[in-house]
């Protein structure tokens, strides 16, 4: 797929690069949008995408990993008041929506074959985007993250995820992601008609483990098979 940037979206993430790999538009069976964590970059999360496609044994998937300005999608913790993370947060949301538009437009993929994969801050952004704009996606894989907003936020989203498979994996002692927020995220996405699986890993810390990688491969393979009628 030809390289592109984040275009004229509002805010600080405009014109940031997007790492891409895979078939040309029109020849892809699906796409994986990869969202990196704070202090990392597109090249870091891109390695995860390559692991997934290698294990899936598929060369017909587009990988697209946008890079956040300053290596951070928003400056403060995800449970700080929303206004303290603006305008970065709205710019980050616009970046993901632009990628989805490119993949469902130029690449002619249905949203049901587009997967959002994020780690840490990227996982928070992934869940925020799909909750705010629910429809049938290929799947959502959120490693060590949860919905964005301070404690006590009422997450009341309209719409329907239409059975979108969602995987939430996190440690019970993650220093950055309260376990209660992961559980709350699972409840909210389930209420939106997402097919949610939450796995908790005692004492793991802030990382991605082998069990999560296996769950990701299974989710993507199943979703692609179901949407193609294989």
Rounded CA-CA distance 197/66 in Å is 26
Which residues, 6+ apart, have CB-to-CB distance to 99 below 8 Å? Answer: 18, 33, 64, 66
Q: What is the pLDDT of residue 230?
A: 47
CATH fourth-level superfamily of 4-151+171-228 = Alpha/Beta hydrolase fold, catalytic domain (3.40.50.1820)
The whole-number pLDDT of residue 112 equals 96
- CA 82, CA 101: separation in Å to the nearest integer? 25
- What is residue 2's predicted lDDT score, i.e. its pLDDT? 66
C-beta separation of 92 from 15 below 8 A: no
pTM of the model: 0.96
Residue 75 CA: distances (Å) to CA of 70, 71, 104: 9, 10, 30
- CA–CA separation, 148 and 184 (whole Å): 11
Scanning 16-119, the segments in alpha helix (DSSP H) are 42-56, 88-105
| Tens-place pLDDT, residues 182-198 | 999 999 999 999 999 99
Domain boundaries, the chain: 4-151+171-228
């Amino acid at each position: 797929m030809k390289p592109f940037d984040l275009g004229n979206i509002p805010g600080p993430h405009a014109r940031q690069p997007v790492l891409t790999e895979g078939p040309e538009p029109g020849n892809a069976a699906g796409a994986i949008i990869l969202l990196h964590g704070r202090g990392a970059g597109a090249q870091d999360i891109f390695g995860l995408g390559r692991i997934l496609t290698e294990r899936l044994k598929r060369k017909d998937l587009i990988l697209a990993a946008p890079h956040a300005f300053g290596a951070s999608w928003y400056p403060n913790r995800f449970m700080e008041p929303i206004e303290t993370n603006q305008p970065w947060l709205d710019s980050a949301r616009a970046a993901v929506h632009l990628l989805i538009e490119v993949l469902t437009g130029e690449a002619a993929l249905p949203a049901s074959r587009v997967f959002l994969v994020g780690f840490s801050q990227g996982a928070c952004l992934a869940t925020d985007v799909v909750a705010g704009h629910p429809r049938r996606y290929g799947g959502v894989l959120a490693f060590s993250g949860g919905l964005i907003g301070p404690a006590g936020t009422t997450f009341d989203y309209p719409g329907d995820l239409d059975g979108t498979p969602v995987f939430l994996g996190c440690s019970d002692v993650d220093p950055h992601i309260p376990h209660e927020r992961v559980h709350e995220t699972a409840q909210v996405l389930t209420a939106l008609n997402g097919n949610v699986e939450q796995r908790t890993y005692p004492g793991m810390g802030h990382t991605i483990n082998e069990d999560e990688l296996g769950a990701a491969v299974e989710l993507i393979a199943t979703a692609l098979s179901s949407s193609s009628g294989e």
